[in-house]
Amino acid sequence: MSQRPMVVGSKPKNIQSSAWRLFRYLGKNRTLLIVVLGFTVITTLCALYGSYAIKPIVQLVEDAFLGKISNSNAFQSIVSLLAFLAFVYIVEVILTYVSARLMILVSQRTVKDIRSDLFEKVMHMPIAYHDQYQHGELMSRFTNDIDLVSEALNMSAVSIVSNVLSLFGTVLLMFLLSPVLAGITCVILPLLSLLSNKIVRYSRRYSKKQQVSLGILNGNIEEAIEGQSVLQLFNHEQTSFEEFSTLNHNYKKNAQKAQIASGIMFPLMANLNNINYAIMGTVGGALILNGWMSVANLSSFVLLTKTLGRPINEISMQFTTLQSALASAERLFEVLDWPDEAVSPDEMTLETVAGDVRFDDVYFGYDPEVPVLRGVDFEALSGKKIAFVGSTGAGKTTITNLITRFYDIQKGDILIDDHSLFAINRFSLRKHIAMVLQDTHLFSGTVMDNIRYGNLEASDEACIEAATLANAHSFIEKLEHGYQTMISGDGSELSAGQRQLLNIARASIANPEILILDEATSSIDTRTERLIEKGMDRLMEGRTTFVIAHRLSTVRNADMILVIEHGQIIERGNHDELLELGGRYASLYLGQSKLD
């Protein structure tokens, strides 16, 4: 199956759709959002007033200097203005803090809802999804993508609103103070922004090259250290050093350019802004000398000019973050939109199962254009043991995956107790099936918890009985805390054989009518294999059992052995009949016997 590469922070394909769906999640906290937006408007107005407030103060100083008002009156008015300005700043600080806390609450609630929906979705996804996506990529959606969305909701969303309001408010005030200077500013600032963006893109390009070359260099170093014995064995030390030197030089070159670009950007932008201030001061001075502008208006205008660049830069930066967040949201919604396993209200629910299983001319391929099974026909009667043997990739495990209805076939039919599999609710079907696989998976918790996973309603006594049947009771009792011993998710505290015995006990507590054993002993030593086989023999009693095994000695007592090659059954019969036939099975069995 093809694997899709993981891409985090790329551009979203459909910005409107992703943004709308994200807003729907945010809409669950509509009241808090309205409060946050209200506080944002107030804090933006406070910040604008702080830049504008210099005008009346300078005007009072100018009036006192010209003798229009007394110094004492001017002083009292200035003190009053400063007190009010301090009050405005205090309000701004408090509301900024409160709105930030509220937005964090909103964003975390939203991310919690998305994460819950995502996890619930994954739990109900068909196995086909996991064939197309790597588990690492799926995990990246729970971590990287959700983190980017959370960051954008925490900071970018409110910041963009605040900076847009600040930008329009600043421009409006500038035109009120001096239309001439505002017009000049509207010409100069786009040029400065264009130059700034070019510098940023140049710096970003070389920063990316620096990171890529650093990753390649580190990979080379790690590979050389891990493979040092091989390098020395074949006398490739010098070759390895020359390769390292080339990569090291390439990294130095890219790092040098990136740091030069980064180092020159800030002083260059600062000087460009100083040039802008100088132009404003020169033109403003000329306007004052001609009586077209007051000193107070110029003072306030210059301060507004200084603050005008901040919202422009912030919007540019936050837009990039928001774009990455929307791309991540799109990836999350892509998972949420994946169709669940199909369930029809017309499907029947299996209350009891005898265990008769029949394949009728079954064709199947994970890709419908590439068949894996072709015309598979067989019948497994209740309580019988059916074994599948054949080369790797022949289709053995695929057959068992179809019995559990992890996949739906393209042609033919599969019947359970004469009921078509596709007329049966797949979830009720799986309640009657248990699997013991080669790769056991245990969950974090106690030994008892892991056995009870097969039937969550089972009592402790029933779990102990299942462990005894699986031949696991004796080793469990020797553990430090017996059945209450804590084990990790991978069961690293236990041997491979002990993990498999717990797996058998878990299948036993489920009390299934149909049992599937897929290479259950392939990675176990011979002594442990005998112990596990005893447990499996007890488990198989009275159940329809399907066994996949490469070790043909484990399937000798099967009621029927099906030899599968290239998705077709080429031989069938019991052990003696197939040996007498002298075909593929006989060849495989005799070959293994000689090796043993």
pLDDT digits (tens, 9 = 90+) for 398-430: 998 899 888 888 899 999 998 998 888 888 888
pLDDT in tens, 84-120: 989 999 998 999 899 888 888 888 888 888 888 888 8
Quick one: CA dihedral 75, 78, 83, 89, positive or negative? negative
pLDDT > 70 fraction of the chain, expressed in percent and rounded: 87
Q: Is the pLDDT score of 498 beyond 50?
A: yes
At 112, which helix (H) or strand (E)? Answer: helix 71-123
Give the tens place of pLDDT for each residue, 541-580. 888 999 887 777 778 888 999 999 999 999 999 988 999 8
The closest alpha carbon to 555, from 517, 582, 581, belongs to 517
Distance CA 571, CA 95 (A): 79
pLDDT, mean of residues 30-58: 86
What the block records as the tokens of 95 is 């509301």
- The end-to-end CA distance of the chain, in Å, is 36
486-487 and 357-364 beta bridge pairing: unpaired
φ/ψ (deg, to 5) at 318: -70, -30
pLDDT > 90 fraction of the chain, expressed in percent and rounded: 12
Alpha carbons 35 and 528: distance in angstroms, whole number? 66
Q: What is the pLDDT of residue 595?
A: 43
Q: Which CATH superfamily is domain 10-176+315-339 in?
A: ABC transporter type 1, transmembrane domain (1.20.1560.10)
Per-chain mean pLDDT for the chain: 81
**pLDDT score recorded for residue 253:** 87
pLDDT of residue 7: 38
CA 383/CA 369 separation, integer angstroms: 36
Beta strands in 240-382 (DSSP E): 357-364, 373-380
Residue 360 has pLDDT above 90, yes or no: yes
This prediction has a pTM of: 0.65
Output the pLDDT for position 379: 92
Neighbouring C-beta atoms of residue 311, cutoff 10 Å: 24
Query: Given this model, what pLDDT does residue 59 score?
Result: 81
- pLDDT band of residue 596 (cuts 50, 70, 90) is very low
Query: In the predicted model, is pLDDT for residue 216 greater than 90?
Result: no
Using an 8 Å Cβ cutoff, are 464 and 474 in contact? no
- Tell me, what's the pLDDT at 265? 62
Predicted pLDDT of residue 391: 83
Output the DSSP codes for 385-453. EEEEEESTTSSHHHHHHHHTTSS--SEEEEEETTEEGGGB-HHHHHTTEEEEESS----SEEHHHHHHT
In the 8-state DSSP scheme, what is residue 554?
A: G
Read off the pLDDT band of 529 (50, 70, 90): low
Closest CA to 404 of 377, 437, 442: 437
Q: How confident is the model at residue 2 (pLDDT cuts 50, 70, 90)?
A: very low
Q: Is 451 helix (H, G, I), strand (E, B) or coil?
A: helix
Closest CA to 507 of 437, 447, 416, 425: 437
Residue 374: its pLDDT value, please? 92
Q: Which residue has the higher pLDDT, 441 or 316?
A: 441
Cα angle for residues 156, 161, 166 (degrees, 5° grid): 120
pLDDT tens-digit map of 246-287: 989 988 888 887 777 767 666 666 666 677 777 877 888 888
39-43, 374-378, 507-511: segment of lowest average pLDDT? 507-511
- In this structure, what token pair is assigned to residue 122? 């994954």
Which pLDDT score, from 0 to 100, does residue 139 have?
76
Q: What are the extents of the domains in the chain?
A: 10-176+315-339, 179-292
